[in-house]
Amino acid sequence: MNYNVKLALWWTLFENASASLRSGDILSAFIYLYTNSNSVVGYIQGVNGILQLLTAPFAGYLADRFRRDAVLRVAAAIGLVAGLTLAAGLYFEGPIWHFVLAMGLMGSYRGFNNPAVESIFADSIQTGKSKLYTWKHVITSLSSAFGPIVSVVLFYILGNEWEVGDCRLVLLIGLNSMLVPLCIMCFFNDDRTLGDMSEAVSPLLVAEQSPVKTVSSNEELSSQRSCCSASFLVPALITSSDLIGSLASGMTIKFFGLFFMQKCGLSPVTVSILSSVSPIFVSVGSITAQSVSRWCGKVPVTLVTRACDIALLVTMAFLPTGAGPLKLVLLGAHLLRKACANCTRPLMRSILMEHVPKRHRGKVNALDSVRTFSWSGSSAAGGVLIEHFGFQTTFLITACIKTASFIPLVVLLRSLAAAA
């Protein structure tokens, strides 16, 4: 593997392990216990998303215009300030505005690092090698289990009760572990990417490099227009589908821990165990989806798994939350749903990078921050909906909106089939 690929995998491991402690279900639980309001949880997560949305396009432009490794060093500095600000708020029990400021800085950190990391990773992979995207996703999933596992141990020692002080301790440990990925970010190197071996295989790129000055026939002109149209459509369709799906997911993604705490009466240890097992399901699902996509295609696999995600979410809305065997069915449905919702993301990313020229990858990867903003921003709406209508009704609303994300993928499937 290329130097930057290895570094990106190590960074992914430590960054997601740290994030699972400092910004997972425990953060949502802490804010809820601190304020006794689901709405405030949504608003603070929304601020995180808004700042990410504002900084990501600027960071993407800088990554394409100058050097990606330089942008990552700026991101590391922002991350250090963000971590210190949140740690100070936790340690000194600051007012709510202090946490709003800290989460805004965390959003800026994410907005700066994501376009540059994803772009330098894609620049260091030979075009068409989607397996590395899958392994990066698997590392992301498995490392996110670190936080819940640490939480299990700490909450077991501290008494297995939802207490502000216990949640604060978990979050501070996560912030301390943030130093490792911040250091790794300073060692990426643009000079060690692959060059033309990682360039996009795109009709649009060919057209830009070899412009046709004369057209000998209407058929040739029509063919070129079709190629350029298809090349533009692939990134546009994938991005729009992700955006719609993320808008829907944002209404619930930060509230599943609170759902199990408030409605199902699960203890901190049980919720943490559930969170630590979930990445295993996602990882197995990702490897399976990668294998299946070899004979039936990446887009069909994605359509099937997303349909299962919606069906399982609707099932969760109607299952009882009380004690009994159906409660186990509810927990199982949640684990399977999360696997289905996340297992095909590396497949879509590999298609995207195969159709985006290297000089535009920073800007296109910045759109991924728009996707992240959409779920962070819509979490504010989710908090209000949950406050007024309850968790189950919000699940059904989320499922309805997710259904709309099928439309761009169906168009993408037809476009790729026509091009083949």
Do residues 245 and 406 lie in contact, with contact meaning Cβ atoms separated by under 8 Å? no
pLDDT value at residue 219 = 44
| pLDDT number for residue 318 | 92
Contact 416, 334 (CB under 8 A): no
Q: Given this model, what pLDDT does residue 419 score?
A: 64
- pLDDT tens string 352-366: 888 777 777 888 777
How much is the pLDDT for 328?
87
| Whole-number pLDDT of residue 222 | 46
Q: What is the pLDDT of residue 215?
A: 42
Q: How high is the pLDDT of residue 369?
A: 62
Tell which residue, 231, 276, 89, 248, has the closest CA to residue 164: 89
Q: Which fold has domain 3-188+198-419?
A: Growth Hormone; Chain: A; (1.20.1250)
User: CA distances (Å), 188 to each of 67, 167, 365, in order?
Assistant: 10, 34, 17
DSSP string, 265-299: ---HHHHHHHHHHHHHHHHHHHHHHHHHHHHH-HH
Nearest to 338, CA basis, from 266, 234, 260, 411: 260
Task: Please tell me the pTM assigned to this model.
Answer: 0.74
Give me the residue spans of the domains in the chain: 3-188+198-419
State the pLDDT at residue 371.
63
Please tell me the predicted confidence (pLDDT) of residue 226.
Answer: 45
DSSP 303-371: HHHHHHHHHHHHHHHHS--SSSHHHHHHHHHHHHHHHHHHTTHHHHHHHHHHTS-GGGHHHHHHHHHHH
Answer for the pair 75, 113: CB distance below 8 angstroms, yes or no: yes
Four-point Cα dihedral 168, 106, 246, 332, nearest 10: -30
Q: What is the pLDDT of residue 68?
A: 93
Low-confidence residues in the chain, pLDDT < 70: 128, 130, 198, 200-232, 323, 368-377, 418-420
Q: How big, in percent rounded to 5, are the helix, strand and coil portions of the chain?
A: 85, 0, 15
According to the model, what pLDDT value does residue 315 have?
A: 94
CA-based torsion, 117, 120, 124, 127: positive or negative: positive
